[in-house]
Chains A and B, each alone.
Chain A
Amino acid sequence: MVRRFGVTERALHWVHASGFLVMLATGLILYLPVLSAAIARRNLVKNVHIFAAVGWALAIALVLVLGDRRRLAADWREIEAFDADDRRWLRGRRARQGRFNAGQKVNAILTVAFAVLFAVSGFFLWLGERDHRFLFDGTGTVHETLTLASIALLTGHLYLALIHPSTRHALRGITAGDVSEDWAREHHPKWVEGERGL
């Protein structure tokens, strides 16, 4: 077995995932007419959504304060870097990949960017109700577009993590932290060989 994700990385993933799922469920009730009408109780659903948002932000901050920030920064540097192999991979060709393949890098970049935009647009939705000077023309539209884009991203992510036979072994990496060396060598050869100094 090889270690893929430490405690901080896994904590960040699951804190974000659980916060996102609570906000997605309540957000869809607030957004989709069928669910709004069926569930009603708008003030209650709204409060759960907003408290989940505050809880999510605090928990993320806590992971960043208490966790291994150096490791997270190294992850982000790795995620941002698209080398020649990554660019080939994105064009649909076979290319040797590092600890994150290019698709995982795109997913991570979009997830973080969406989280930032969800937080900003959500804050202005909340504030705009309280002071209409901060009720911008497109705040709701941005929040809703992010919702739809995130659902698409999440669907692909869940398919690859839970169903697709050749990739679902990766789930072990984000739960237990390690993955089998054979699997890693096949899917992320540059990482395994780099790690072993080969």
Chain B
Amino acid sequence: MQDRTIGRAAFLGVVGAGVAGLFVGRDALGLLGRLVPDSVEAIVPTSGWRIYTIGNSIPRIDPAAYRLTITGAVERPVTYTLDDLRALPRAEQVSDFHCVTGWSVYDVHWTGIRFRDLLAEAGLRFDAKALRFVSDEVPYDDTLSLPQAFASDAMLALDLDGKPLSAPHGYPARVVMPQMYGYKSVKWVTGIEVQPHLDHVGYWEQRGYDEDAWVGGSNGL
């Protein structure tokens, strides 16, 4: 009988450590991750960005052909080229990025355009309620209500860490909404459809993701 307690203890010990890890694993591995060389980190990530794509490949957008259209509940539909966007008032911020699958990137430096400035020329109609972001990664889309889009740290980002977005990060333009999980931050944005209602359900939400995308609550982030 004594002999069996060894195996039983080993089994319960591993299971117990794993269950504890559900609550502290990220910090524990975060410490270990600092010992991992960058070359390994690039292949087997313990921290940093991960690129998730629902289409058949990462969209490659030709900057000369790129257009951003603003349509829907606006006074005047507007089409911007990339140069037009770069001429709009710039905003900068450092914010954290949280993915719903459990990874985060801290202190990300974004440069882009606040939605108020982006929508100024089109002009919101009195019944405008939400922005639906259309991606070149068809059929991905998601929405922000106007108060969410006008949060002080929400923007249409063009630059990441001082350089134009790379293709995997959504070149040439992506939504950044740090207070919500990453699935709200639509990449490769080619259109903003201003909606007179709040009913639209985004790509991942249609597939079961929580419609309440606010970061926080019990997970302590």
Interface, chain A (partner B; CB < 8 A): 31-34, 36-37, 40-43, 77, 79-83, 86-87, 105-106, 109-110, 112-114, 116-117, 120-121, 124-125, 128-133, 135-142, 144-146, 148
Q: Is B85 an interface residue (CB 8 A)?
A: no
Q: What's the dominant secondary structure at chain A's contact region?
A: helix
Beta-carbon contact of B100 and A135 below 8 Å: yes
Give the residue of B18, B21, B27, B102 whose beta carbon is less than 8 angstroms from that of A135.
B102
Interface, chain B (partner A; CB < 8 A): 3-4, 6-8, 10-11, 14-15, 18-19, 21-29, 42-46, 49-58, 100-103, 168, 181, 204, 207-210, 212, 214, 217-221
* Alpha-carbon distance between A58 and B181 when the two chains are bound, in angstroms: 32
Number of A-B contacts (CB under 8 A): 151
| A42 touching B219 in the complex, CB below 8 Å, given contacts A132-B100, A132-B212, A141-B29 | no
Beta-carbon contact of A136 and B219 below 8 Å: yes
| A41 touching B56 in the complex, CB below 8 Å, given contacts A82-B3, A128-B100 | yes
| A129 touching B18 in the complex, CB below 8 Å, given contacts A40-B56, A137-B221 | no
| A41 touching B6 in the complex, CB below 8 Å, given contacts A132-B212, A138-B25 | no
Beta-carbon contact of A148 and B14 below 8 Å: no
Q: A42: which B residues are within 8 A, CB to CB?
A: 52-54
* Alpha-carbon distance between A113 and B56 when the two chains are bound, in angstroms: 36
| A132 touching B15 in the complex, CB below 8 Å, given contacts A40-B58, A124-B22, A145-B21 | no
Which one of A80, A87, A105, A138 has the highest number of Cβ atoms from chain B below 10 Å of its Cβ?
A138
Give the residue of B25, B100, B210 whose beta carbon is less than 8 angstroms from that of A137.
B25
Beta-carbon contact of B45 and A33 below 8 Å: yes
Residue of B nearest to A77 (CB): B4
Beta-carbon contact of B54 and A43 below 8 Å: yes
Beta-carbon contact of B7 and A79 below 8 Å: yes
Beta-carbon contact of B102 and A113 below 8 Å: no
| A145 touching B7 in the complex, CB below 8 Å, given contacts A109-B14, A116-B15, A120-B19 | no
Beta-carbon contact of B209 and A129 below 8 Å: yes
**10 other contacts beyond A138-B24, A138-B25, A139-B102, with CB at 8 A cut-off?**
A32-B43, A33-B43, A87-B6, A109-B11, A110-B14, A117-B15, A125-B101, A133-B217, A136-B219, A139-B22
* Alpha-carbon distance between A110 and B18 when the two chains are bound, in angstroms: 12
Q: B103: which A residues are within 8 A, CB to CB?
A: 140
| A117 touching B45 in the complex, CB below 8 Å, given contacts A83-B3, A141-B25, A145-B25 | no
* Alpha-carbon distance between A19 and B43 when the two chains are bound, in angstroms: 24
The 3 residue pairs across chains A and B that have the minimum distance between CB atoms: A138-B25, A140-B102, A80-B7
Beta-carbon contact of A138 and B23 below 8 Å: yes
